């Protein structure tokens, strides 16, 4: 695959395969190494409990022909024993 580049106003080259926001050169305004976050505001993603990931996470699945999107959502809700589940758009 051929690598394509674009020239920006400043003369810097940018890979054409990047997303639009990745093509803009940005600088860090504030970067604090001494910042401390309180544990009462949550936890690091890798420290989350499996139960929290299931209750508040997203599941990507490939729906086969046959059951409706509503039925597949119901199956997932019943299998995972969660109170609420939904889908965004069609699963076709």
Q: What is the pTM of this model?
A: 0.45
pLDDT confidence of residue 34: 77
Alpha carbon 62 to its chain centroid, in Å, reads 17
pLDDT confidence of residue 8: 52
How do the pLDDT tens digits run along the chain, 92 residues long?
455 544 555 555 556 778 887 877 877 777 777 777 777 877 777 788 888 877 777 888 888 888 888 888 898 889 888 888 888 876 55
**Which burial class, exposed, middle or buried, applies to 72 when counting CB atoms under 10 A from its CB (0-12, 13-18, 19+)?**
middle
Q: Record the tokens describing residue 14, joined without a space.
A: 């940018």
pLDDT confidence of residue 1: 46
């Amino acid at each position: 695959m051929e690598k394509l580049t674009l020239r920006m106003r400043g003369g810097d080259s940018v890979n054409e395969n990047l997303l639009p926001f990745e093509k803009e050169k940005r600088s860090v305004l504030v970067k604090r190494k001494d910042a401390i976050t309180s544990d009462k505001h949550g936890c690091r993603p890798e420290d989350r409990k499996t139960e929290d990931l299931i209750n508040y996470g997203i599941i990507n699945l490939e729906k086969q022909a046959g059951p409706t999107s509503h039925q597949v959502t119901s199956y997932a809700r019943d299998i995972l024993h969660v109170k609420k589940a939904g889908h965004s758009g069609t699963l076709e």
